[in-house]
Structure 1
Amino acid sequence: MGDVITQRPVLLIAAVFSRHPAALDWTRERFAAVWGPVALASDCFEHRETTYYEKSMGPDLQKMFLAGERLVDPGQLPELKLAANHWEEEYRAANNHAEARPLNIDPGYLTEAKLVLASTKDRDHRLYLSQGIFAEVTLHFARGGWQTRQWTYPDYQRADYHEFFTRCREYLRQRYREQFSGPAGG
């Protein structure tokens, strides 16, 4: 029988996209107010790899990533996704945009070995967590870089995304060194 061990906390990541810059700003403020300060934020990327979201979100989507300063328990992913879904609805109700879904927030987490994203959609490669939320390993880190899987979304295969996730990984490793490298026995 294997020993059950407590998992180290992980780096909270949120992928945020919209055609409205105000929606991205609103989400960054909400992230910081509820989940803690933003440690790293990416530039805005054109979301150009698919037209899947155009019907509900409109054209010319921009995506950005936020990474939290505060490390989190990976077991919190369902609650984080449910909160993000609530924020999307809150933003939609408070703003008069033409789109049915003016904002999309996808939380996940990053470890030294992988990027995990939460989803409400079941697929053959996703594991059910709880409360209607699934998780997938979207990228994994091997051979000195981020590697994709056959199910990795096309935009997550981009080098500029990988550069940001590498910065996040370096930040997380620094946090681990600070947090877990105290004197022996302490």
Structure 2
Amino acid sequence: MSEPRKPSPAKLMMGILFRDFDLQRRVLKRLCEEFGPMDFLTEPEPFSYTHYYDREMGAGIYRQTVSFLQLAPLESLPDIKFFTNALEKENSLDGRRQINLDPGLLSEERLILATGKNYTHRIHLRDGIYADLTLIYQGGAYQSLPWTYPDYQNPELRHFLGILRMKLAFQRNGRLPRKYITKGENP
């Protein structure tokens, strides 16, 4: 029989799609007010993986990934998604989102994104929010799955997530991964 244990907290991160840099700055400020200081932010890059969002948001969309210093309990993912949904609505124009926020929790084993859409590989958490298993950690890196969104398949983003994984391990136990300890140091 397995005994239930409280899971370790994870690194809160999210993908951000936007066109307006002033709005992006305001939303990042609100996210920091809610979740604490950022500890990672990628440079904005043109979002060219799909045109799915163009109809709602317009052309010329940029993408960034952000993570936050404070670790988050796994059970908080639905509440985080409700907050980001409200922030998207608050910044909508004529019912169209001007910013898209995709929160997720990065653990040493996987990346789970929150979504309101059901599908075969998604597990209902509560109140209409599902956990989307987006990446798994295997063979020394985060690996894509058949349903992984194209932007999360990007090798550069998966590399950054690997760095965040090392930071997460350090935050949890105060130790660097073995491969980063030089000879003679006390692990």
> Unaligned regions of 5+ residues in structure 1, if any?
180-186
Give per-residue Cα distances to partners, 1:18-41, cap 9 Å, x unaligned. Answer: 111122212211111111111111
2:157 matched to which residue of 1?
A: 161
CA distance in 2, matches of 1:144, 1:45: 26
1:33 matched to which residue of 2?
A: 33
CA distance in 2, matches of 1:23, 1:122: 29
Does residue 72 (structure 1) correspond to residue 68 (structure 2)? The answer is: no
Say what the alpha-carbon RMSD is for the aligned residues: 1.5
Q: Retained in 2: the 8 A contact 1:57–1:99?
A: no
Q: Shift of residue 98 of structure 1?
A: 7.3
How many positions carry a matched residue from both structures? Answer: 175
Q: Retained in 2: the 8 A contact 1:57–1:101?
A: yes
CA distance in 2, matches of 1:173, 1:23: 33
Q: Retained in 2: the 8 A contact 1:119–1:134?
A: yes
CA distance in 2, matches of 1:161, 1:21: 21
Give per-residue Cα distances to partners, 1:65-111, cap 9 Å, x unaligned. Answer: 1111000101110000000000111122xxxx578111101111100
Give per-residue Cα distances to partners, 1:114-153, cap 9 Å, x unaligned. Answer: 1110001111110000011001110111111121100001
Query: Which amino acid in structure 1 is aligned with residue 65 of structure 2?
Result: F
Q: Shift of residue 178 of structure 1?
A: 2.2
CA distance in 2, matches of 1:17, 1:99: 16
CA distance in 2, matches of 1:14, 1:131: 20
Does residue 147 (structure 1) correspond to residue 152 (structure 2)? The answer is: no
Q: Retained in 1: the 8 A contact 2:41–2:64?
A: yes
CA distance in 2, matches of 1:77, 1:30: 17
1:183 matched to which residue of 2?
A: none
- In the superposition, the TM-score normalised over structure 1's length comes to 0.89
Greater relative contact order structure (CA < 8 Å, 6+ sep): 1
Give percent identity, aligned residues only: 29
1:132 matched to which residue of 2?
A: 128
Query: Which amino acid in structure 1 is aligned with residue 157 of structure 2?
Result: Y
> Unaligned regions of 5+ residues in structure 2, if any?
176-187
CA distance in 2, matches of 1:128, 1:152: 18
1:108 matched to which residue of 2?
A: 104
After superposing on structure 2, the runs of 4+ consecutive aligned residues of structure 1 that deviate more than 3 Å are: none
Q: Retained in 2: the 8 A contact 1:56–1:99?
A: no
Does residue 174 (structure 1) correspond to residue 166 (structure 2)? The answer is: no
CA distance in 2, matches of 1:98, 1:83: 20
1:117 matched to which residue of 2?
A: 113
Q: Retained in 2: the 8 A contact 1:13–1:107?
A: yes
